A and B are shown apart, each in its own frame.
Chain A
Protein backbone atom coordinates (compact mmCIF):
# COMPACT_ATOMS: atom_id res chain seq x y z
CA UNK A 1 0.00 0.00 0.00
CA UNK A 2 1.36 3.42 -0.96
CA UNK A 3 1.33 6.22 1.63
CA UNK A 4 -0.92 9.13 0.63
CA UNK A 5 0.97 12.14 -0.70
CA UNK A 6 1.19 15.23 1.44
CA UNK A 7 -0.56 17.08 -1.37
CA UNK A 8 -3.47 14.68 -1.81
CA UNK A 9 -6.98 14.75 -0.39
CA UNK A 10 -10.12 12.75 -1.01
CA UNK A 11 -11.24 14.70 -4.08
CA UNK A 12 -8.13 16.50 -5.28
CA UNK A 13 -4.40 16.32 -5.45
CA UNK A 14 -2.09 19.25 -6.03
CA UNK A 15 0.76 19.07 -8.48
CA UNK A 16 3.20 21.67 -9.71
CA UNK A 17 1.62 24.22 -12.02
CA UNK A 18 3.08 23.91 -15.52
CA UNK A 19 3.15 26.16 -18.57
CA UNK A 20 1.16 23.45 -20.35
CA UNK A 21 -1.75 24.08 -17.93
CA UNK A 22 -2.41 27.49 -19.51
CA UNK A 23 -5.28 26.34 -21.81
CA UNK A 24 -7.04 24.48 -18.98
CA UNK A 25 -6.76 27.45 -16.63
CA UNK A 26 -7.71 29.91 -19.36
CA UNK A 27 -10.89 27.86 -19.91
CA UNK A 28 -12.25 28.82 -16.48
CA UNK A 29 -10.37 32.02 -15.67
CA UNK A 30 -12.43 34.07 -18.14
CA UNK A 31 -15.63 32.98 -16.39
CA UNK A 32 -17.59 36.04 -15.32
CA UNK A 33 -17.73 34.74 -11.73
CA UNK A 34 -13.94 35.07 -11.49
CA UNK A 35 -13.68 38.66 -12.72
CA UNK A 36 -11.74 40.60 -10.10
CA UNK A 37 -10.65 37.47 -8.24
CA UNK A 38 -8.35 35.50 -10.50
CA UNK A 39 -5.39 35.21 -8.11
CA UNK A 40 -2.81 34.30 -10.74
CA UNK A 41 -0.16 36.92 -10.01
CA UNK A 42 -0.55 40.67 -9.76
CA UNK A 43 0.50 41.32 -13.37
CA UNK A 44 -2.56 39.58 -14.78
CA UNK A 45 -5.52 41.89 -15.30
CA UNK A 46 -8.30 41.01 -12.88
CA UNK A 47 -10.95 42.25 -15.34
CA UNK A 48 -9.86 42.06 -19.02
CA UNK A 49 -10.82 39.09 -21.19
CA UNK A 50 -7.69 36.95 -21.12
CA UNK A 51 -5.76 35.29 -23.93
CA UNK A 52 -4.17 31.90 -23.39
CA UNK A 53 -0.83 33.70 -23.78
CA UNK A 54 -1.67 36.05 -20.90
CA UNK A 55 -2.31 33.05 -18.68
CA UNK A 56 0.86 31.31 -19.90
CA UNK A 57 2.94 34.40 -19.05
CA UNK A 58 1.36 34.64 -15.61
CA UNK A 59 2.13 30.98 -14.97
CA UNK A 60 5.70 31.47 -16.18
CA UNK A 61 6.12 34.34 -13.70
CA UNK A 62 4.72 32.29 -10.85
CA UNK A 63 6.67 29.10 -11.42
CA UNK A 64 9.98 30.93 -11.83
CA UNK A 65 9.78 32.41 -8.31
CA UNK A 66 12.06 30.97 -5.68
CA UNK A 67 10.04 32.32 -2.77
CA UNK A 68 6.74 30.67 -3.37
CA UNK A 69 4.95 27.74 -4.96
CA UNK A 70 2.20 27.36 -7.52
CA UNK A 71 -0.07 24.34 -7.82
CA UNK A 72 -2.60 22.96 -10.26
CA UNK A 73 -5.62 21.60 -8.42
CA UNK A 74 -6.36 18.21 -10.00
CA UNK A 75 -9.65 16.43 -9.66
CA UNK A 76 -8.63 12.88 -8.75
CA UNK A 77 -11.60 11.21 -10.40
CA UNK A 78 -10.93 12.66 -13.87
CA UNK A 79 -7.31 13.76 -13.54
CA UNK A 80 -8.40 17.19 -14.74
CA UNK A 81 -7.21 20.71 -13.79
CA UNK A 82 -10.08 22.34 -11.91
CA UNK A 83 -8.28 25.15 -10.09
CA UNK A 84 -5.01 26.69 -9.02
CA UNK A 85 -3.42 27.64 -5.72
CA UNK A 86 -0.53 29.96 -4.92
CA UNK A 87 1.75 30.21 -1.91
CA UNK A 88 4.00 33.23 -1.48
CA UNK A 89 6.40 33.73 1.41
CA UNK A 90 8.50 36.50 -0.07
CA UNK A 91 11.58 36.92 2.09
CA UNK A 92 9.89 35.64 5.23
CA UNK A 93 8.73 32.00 5.49
CA UNK A 94 7.38 32.97 8.90
CA UNK A 95 4.34 34.66 7.36
CA UNK A 96 3.36 33.33 3.93
CA UNK A 97 0.15 34.15 2.12
CA UNK A 98 -2.10 31.71 0.36
CA UNK A 99 -4.74 31.88 -2.36
CA UNK A 100 -6.99 29.23 -3.87
CA UNK A 101 -9.16 29.48 -6.99
CA UNK A 102 -11.58 26.76 -8.07
CA UNK A 103 -13.21 26.68 -11.48
CA UNK A 104 -16.83 27.90 -11.13
CA UNK A 105 -17.87 24.66 -12.85
CA UNK A 106 -16.72 22.84 -9.69
CA UNK A 107 -17.99 25.13 -6.94
CA UNK A 108 -19.92 23.98 -3.87
CA UNK A 109 -18.28 20.57 -3.76
CA UNK A 110 -15.77 21.29 -0.99
CA UNK A 111 -12.86 21.46 -3.45
CA UNK A 112 -11.58 24.82 -2.18
CA UNK A 113 -11.72 23.82 1.47
CA UNK A 114 -9.91 20.58 0.80
CA UNK A 115 -7.24 22.38 -1.24
CA UNK A 116 -6.73 25.06 1.41
CA UNK A 117 -6.56 22.46 4.17
CA UNK A 118 -3.84 20.59 2.31
CA UNK A 119 -1.84 23.80 1.91
CA UNK A 120 -2.30 24.90 5.53
CA UNK A 121 -1.11 21.49 6.70
CA UNK A 122 1.93 21.81 4.45
CA UNK A 123 2.73 25.35 5.62
CA UNK A 124 2.31 24.69 9.34
CA UNK A 125 3.73 21.16 9.47
CA UNK A 126 6.52 21.36 6.91
CA UNK A 127 7.68 25.00 6.88
CA UNK A 128 8.53 27.56 9.59
CA UNK A 129 5.21 29.37 8.98
CA UNK A 130 3.98 31.01 12.15
CA UNK A 131 1.03 32.85 10.63
CA UNK A 132 -0.64 32.38 7.24
CA UNK A 133 -2.31 35.33 5.56
CA UNK A 134 -5.01 35.66 2.95
CA UNK A 135 -6.72 38.58 1.25
CA UNK A 136 -9.88 39.22 -0.70
CA UNK A 137 -11.97 42.15 -1.94
CA UNK A 138 -14.70 43.34 0.41
CA UNK A 139 -17.37 42.53 -2.20
CA UNK A 140 -16.24 38.91 -2.39
CA UNK A 141 -18.70 37.29 0.00
CA UNK A 142 -17.78 33.78 -1.10
CA UNK A 143 -14.16 34.41 -0.08
CA UNK A 144 -15.25 35.78 3.26
CA UNK A 145 -17.26 32.64 3.99
CA UNK A 146 -14.40 30.48 2.73
CA UNK A 147 -11.90 32.20 5.06
CA UNK A 148 -14.30 31.94 7.95
CA UNK A 149 -14.80 28.21 7.42
CA UNK A 150 -11.05 27.79 7.50
CA UNK A 151 -10.96 29.67 10.85
CA UNK A 152 -9.09 32.69 9.53
CA UNK A 153 -9.53 35.89 11.54
CA UNK A 154 -10.08 39.36 10.04
CA UNK A 155 -6.84 41.34 10.37
CA UNK A 156 -7.92 44.58 8.77
CA UNK A 157 -8.13 46.12 5.35
CA UNK A 158 -6.26 48.04 2.70
CA UNK A 159 -8.72 50.79 1.91
CA UNK A 160 -9.46 51.69 -1.70
CA UNK A 161 -7.46 48.87 -3.23
CA UNK A 162 -9.38 49.12 -6.49
CA UNK A 163 -12.54 50.16 -8.30
CA UNK A 164 -15.61 48.09 -9.08
CA UNK A 165 -19.02 49.21 -10.30
CA UNK A 166 -17.85 52.83 -10.11
CA UNK A 167 -16.96 52.66 -6.43
CA UNK A 168 -13.69 52.04 -4.60
CA UNK A 169 -13.46 48.78 -2.69
CA UNK A 170 -11.20 47.62 0.14
CA UNK A 171 -9.08 44.51 0.32
CA UNK A 172 -9.75 42.53 3.49
CA UNK A 173 -6.79 40.81 5.10
CA UNK A 174 -7.23 37.67 7.15
CA UNK A 175 -4.77 35.55 9.10
CA UNK A 176 -4.53 32.35 11.10
CA UNK A 177 -1.83 31.61 13.64
CA UNK A 178 -0.19 28.22 13.93
CA UNK A 179 -1.59 27.67 17.42
CA UNK A 180 -5.11 28.45 16.19
CA UNK A 181 -4.74 26.05 13.30
CA UNK A 182 -3.38 23.36 15.63
CA UNK A 183 -6.22 23.85 18.03
CA UNK A 184 -8.90 23.62 15.31
CA UNK A 185 -7.04 20.81 13.60
CA UNK A 186 -6.86 18.78 16.82
CA UNK A 187 -10.53 19.39 17.52
CA UNK A 188 -11.59 18.26 14.03
Chain B
Protein backbone atom coordinates (compact mmCIF):
# COMPACT_ATOMS: atom_id res chain seq x y z
CA UNK B 1 0.00 0.00 0.00
CA UNK B 2 1.51 3.33 -0.97
CA UNK B 3 1.65 6.30 1.38
CA UNK B 4 -1.44 8.38 0.93
CA UNK B 5 -2.90 11.71 1.97
CA UNK B 6 -6.15 13.45 1.08
CA UNK B 7 -4.76 14.84 -2.17
CA UNK B 8 -1.62 12.81 -2.91
CA UNK B 9 -0.36 9.29 -3.25
CA UNK B 10 3.33 8.58 -2.77
CA UNK B 11 4.10 5.42 -4.63
CA UNK B 12 7.30 3.54 -5.53
CA UNK B 13 9.40 4.66 -8.47
CA UNK B 14 8.69 2.62 -11.64
CA UNK B 15 10.52 2.21 -14.94
CA UNK B 16 7.84 4.28 -16.64
CA UNK B 17 8.75 7.29 -14.47
CA UNK B 18 12.29 7.71 -15.74
CA UNK B 19 11.32 10.07 -18.58
CA UNK B 20 9.72 12.45 -16.11
CA UNK B 21 12.65 12.17 -13.70
CA UNK B 22 15.14 12.94 -16.47
CA UNK B 23 13.02 15.88 -17.64
CA UNK B 24 12.88 17.31 -14.11
CA UNK B 25 16.62 16.91 -13.77
CA UNK B 26 17.09 18.78 -17.03
CA UNK B 27 14.98 21.72 -15.87
CA UNK B 28 17.31 24.19 -14.14
CA UNK B 29 14.55 25.16 -11.69
CA UNK B 30 13.64 21.66 -10.51
CA UNK B 31 16.86 19.73 -10.98
CA UNK B 32 18.83 20.08 -7.72
CA UNK B 33 18.51 21.87 -4.44
CA UNK B 34 21.81 23.66 -4.28
CA UNK B 35 23.73 23.46 -7.52
CA UNK B 36 23.27 23.57 -11.24
CA UNK B 37 23.88 20.36 -13.15
CA UNK B 38 24.36 20.08 -16.90
CA UNK B 39 20.83 19.63 -18.27
CA UNK B 40 21.79 16.65 -20.41
CA UNK B 41 20.56 13.67 -18.40
CA UNK B 42 19.19 11.01 -20.70
CA UNK B 43 16.42 8.49 -20.41
CA UNK B 44 19.08 5.76 -20.45
CA UNK B 45 20.98 7.32 -17.56
CA UNK B 46 17.86 7.38 -15.46
CA UNK B 47 16.93 3.87 -16.45
CA UNK B 48 20.39 2.81 -15.28
CA UNK B 49 19.82 4.62 -11.97
CA UNK B 50 16.44 2.97 -11.60
CA UNK B 51 17.72 -0.51 -12.47
CA UNK B 52 20.72 -0.30 -10.18
CA UNK B 53 18.62 -0.23 -7.03
CA UNK B 54 19.15 -3.48 -5.18
CA UNK B 55 16.83 -5.44 -3.01
CA UNK B 56 17.52 -5.18 0.72
CA UNK B 57 15.61 -5.25 3.99
CA UNK B 58 18.33 -3.03 5.43
CA UNK B 59 17.20 0.21 3.82
CA UNK B 60 17.17 3.60 5.42
CA UNK B 61 16.08 5.78 2.55
CA UNK B 62 13.00 6.05 0.38
CA UNK B 63 12.19 7.46 -3.08
CA UNK B 64 8.61 8.13 -4.08
CA UNK B 65 6.69 9.41 -7.07
CA UNK B 66 3.99 11.92 -6.19
CA UNK B 67 0.56 11.35 -7.73
CA UNK B 68 -2.04 14.12 -7.68
CA UNK B 69 -5.19 12.21 -6.73
CA UNK B 70 -7.51 14.77 -8.36
CA UNK B 71 -6.09 14.21 -11.84
CA UNK B 72 -4.10 11.00 -11.50
CA UNK B 73 -1.11 12.86 -12.90
CA UNK B 74 2.47 12.53 -11.72
CA UNK B 75 3.28 15.78 -9.90
CA UNK B 76 6.91 15.21 -8.93
CA UNK B 77 9.00 13.16 -6.58
CA UNK B 78 9.96 13.11 -2.92
CA UNK B 79 11.89 11.03 -0.47
CA UNK B 80 13.99 10.72 2.62
CA UNK B 81 17.58 9.77 3.17
CA UNK B 82 20.41 9.85 5.69
CA UNK B 83 18.32 8.03 8.27
CA UNK B 84 20.02 7.25 11.56
CA UNK B 85 17.74 4.41 12.64
CA UNK B 86 15.16 5.44 15.27
CA UNK B 87 16.75 8.86 15.51
CA UNK B 88 17.00 11.26 12.56
CA UNK B 89 16.41 11.62 8.84
CA UNK B 90 16.38 14.19 6.03
CA UNK B 91 13.52 14.87 3.62
CA UNK B 92 13.48 16.44 0.18
CA UNK B 93 10.96 17.01 -2.60
CA UNK B 94 10.59 18.47 -6.09
CA UNK B 95 7.37 19.24 -7.94
CA UNK B 96 6.76 19.94 -11.60
CA UNK B 97 6.36 23.69 -12.01
CA UNK B 98 2.68 23.42 -12.91
CA UNK B 99 2.07 22.11 -9.39
CA UNK B 100 3.93 24.91 -7.60
CA UNK B 101 1.59 26.85 -5.34
CA UNK B 102 -1.01 24.07 -5.45
CA UNK B 103 -0.62 23.06 -1.81
CA UNK B 104 0.55 19.57 -2.79
CA UNK B 105 4.02 20.12 -1.32
CA UNK B 106 2.53 20.69 2.11
CA UNK B 107 0.53 17.51 1.93
CA UNK B 108 3.47 15.48 0.61
CA UNK B 109 5.50 16.54 3.59
CA UNK B 110 2.70 15.84 6.05
CA UNK B 111 2.50 12.29 4.69
CA UNK B 112 6.28 11.84 4.82
CA UNK B 113 6.62 13.31 8.32
CA UNK B 114 3.85 11.09 9.63
CA UNK B 115 5.58 8.05 8.11
CA UNK B 116 8.96 9.00 9.57
CA UNK B 117 7.71 9.86 13.05
CA UNK B 118 5.06 7.16 13.45
CA UNK B 119 6.59 4.27 11.52
CA UNK B 120 10.33 4.89 11.76
CA UNK B 121 10.11 6.35 15.26
CA UNK B 122 12.49 9.21 14.44
CA UNK B 123 13.22 11.89 17.01
CA UNK B 124 14.05 14.64 14.54
CA UNK B 125 13.57 15.27 10.81
CA UNK B 126 15.68 17.80 8.91
CA UNK B 127 15.38 19.65 5.62
CA UNK B 128 18.03 21.65 3.82
CA UNK B 129 17.37 24.52 1.45
CA UNK B 130 18.84 27.83 0.40
CA UNK B 131 18.04 31.32 1.67
CA UNK B 132 16.70 32.41 -1.72
CA UNK B 133 14.13 29.57 -1.71
CA UNK B 134 11.55 31.45 0.35
CA UNK B 135 8.82 29.10 -0.83
CA UNK B 136 10.51 26.05 0.73
CA UNK B 137 11.37 27.90 3.94
CA UNK B 138 7.79 29.14 4.29
CA UNK B 139 6.42 25.66 3.72
CA UNK B 140 8.74 24.14 6.32
CA UNK B 141 7.74 26.76 8.85
CA UNK B 142 4.05 26.01 8.22
CA UNK B 143 4.81 22.34 8.88
CA UNK B 144 6.41 23.23 12.21
CA UNK B 145 10.08 23.20 11.26
CA UNK B 146 12.44 25.68 12.87
CA UNK B 147 15.25 27.42 11.04
CA UNK B 148 18.06 26.20 13.24
CA UNK B 149 21.12 26.96 11.13
CA UNK B 150 22.33 29.17 8.35
CA UNK B 151 25.76 28.59 6.83
CA UNK B 152 26.67 31.87 5.20
CA UNK B 153 27.17 32.07 1.46
CA UNK B 154 27.45 28.31 1.18
CA UNK B 155 25.64 28.01 -2.16
CA UNK B 156 26.13 29.64 -5.55
CA UNK B 157 23.72 29.09 -8.44
CA UNK B 158 21.75 31.10 -10.97
CA UNK B 159 24.27 33.90 -10.37
CA UNK B 160 23.28 34.24 -6.72
CA UNK B 161 25.34 33.58 -3.61
CA UNK B 162 22.95 32.28 -0.95
CA UNK B 163 23.10 30.82 2.53
CA UNK B 164 22.47 27.15 3.26
CA UNK B 165 19.46 26.99 5.55
CA UNK B 166 19.07 24.05 7.93
CA UNK B 167 15.58 23.40 9.23
CA UNK B 168 14.47 20.75 11.67
CA UNK B 169 11.43 19.55 13.55
CA UNK B 170 11.65 17.57 16.77
CA UNK B 171 9.30 14.74 17.54
CA UNK B 172 7.50 16.56 20.35
CA UNK B 173 7.04 19.62 18.12
CA UNK B 174 5.52 17.44 15.40
CA UNK B 175 2.98 15.87 17.78
CA UNK B 176 2.19 19.16 19.56
CA UNK B 177 1.03 20.63 16.24
CA UNK B 178 -0.99 17.53 15.33
CA UNK B 179 -3.25 16.75 18.30
CA UNK B 180 -5.12 14.08 16.33
CA UNK B 181 -1.93 11.96 16.56
CA UNK B 182 -0.65 10.35 19.75
CA UNK B 183 2.97 9.78 20.63
CA UNK B 184 3.57 6.63 22.63
CA UNK B 185 7.37 6.80 22.64
CA UNK B 186 8.73 8.02 25.98
CA UNK B 187 10.31 11.47 25.81
CA UNK B 188 13.89 12.34 26.74
CA UNK B 189 13.12 15.64 28.41
B149 within 8 A of A: yes
Expressed in whole angstroms, the Cα–Cα distance for A172 and B98 within the complex equals 38
Expressed in whole angstroms, the Cα–Cα distance for A88 and B72 within the complex equals 43
Q: How many B residues, CB 8 Å from partner?
A: 25
- Chain B residues lying within 8 Å of A131, measured Cβ to Cβ, are 151-154
Within B158-189, the residues touching A (CB, 8 Å) are 161, 164, 166, 168, 170, 188-189
A160 within 8 A of B: yes
Closest Cβ–Cβ distance, residue A129 to chain B (whole Å): 11
A91 engages B35 (CB within 8 Å): yes
- Chain B residues lying within 8 Å of A153, measured Cβ to Cβ, are 152
A167 engages B155 (CB within 8 Å): no
Summarize A's interface: helix, strand, loop or mixed.
Answer: strand
Known: A160-B170, A168-B188. A92 touches B149 (CB 8 A): no
Q: How many A residues, CB 8 Å from partner?
A: 24
Instruction: Give 1 or 0 for each of A77-91: 1 = CB within 8 Å of chain B CB.
Output: 000000000000001
B151 engages A94 (CB within 8 Å): no
Q: Please report the number of residue pairs spanning A and B whose Cβ atoms sit closer than 8 angstroms.
A: 69
Known: A156-B148, A156-B166, A159-B124. A166 touches B154 (CB 8 A): no
- Chain B residues lying within 8 Å of A163, measured Cβ to Cβ, are 87, 188
Within A159-188, the residues touching B (CB, 8 Å) are 159-163, 166-168, 170, 173, 175, 177
Closest Cβ–Cβ distance, residue B65 to chain A (whole Å): 25
Residue B149 contacts which of A160, A173, A177 (CB distance < 8 angstroms)? Answer: A173
- Chain A residues lying within 8 Å of B151, measured Cβ to Cβ, are 95, 131, 133, 155-156, 173, 175
Known A-B contacts: A160-B168, A166-B188. Give 4 more (CB < 8 A). Answer: A94-B155, A155-B152, A175-B152, A177-B153
A selection of 15 A-B contacts at a CB cut-off of 8 Å is: A91-B35, A94-B154, A94-B155, A94-B156, A95-B164, A131-B153, A156-B147, A156-B151, A157-B148, A159-B146, A160-B123, A160-B168, A160-B170, A162-B87, A175-B154
Question: Which 10 pairs between the two chains have the least Cβ-Cβ distance?
Answer: A156-B149, A160-B124, A95-B154, A155-B151, A173-B149, A159-B168, A157-B148, A156-B150, A131-B153, A175-B151
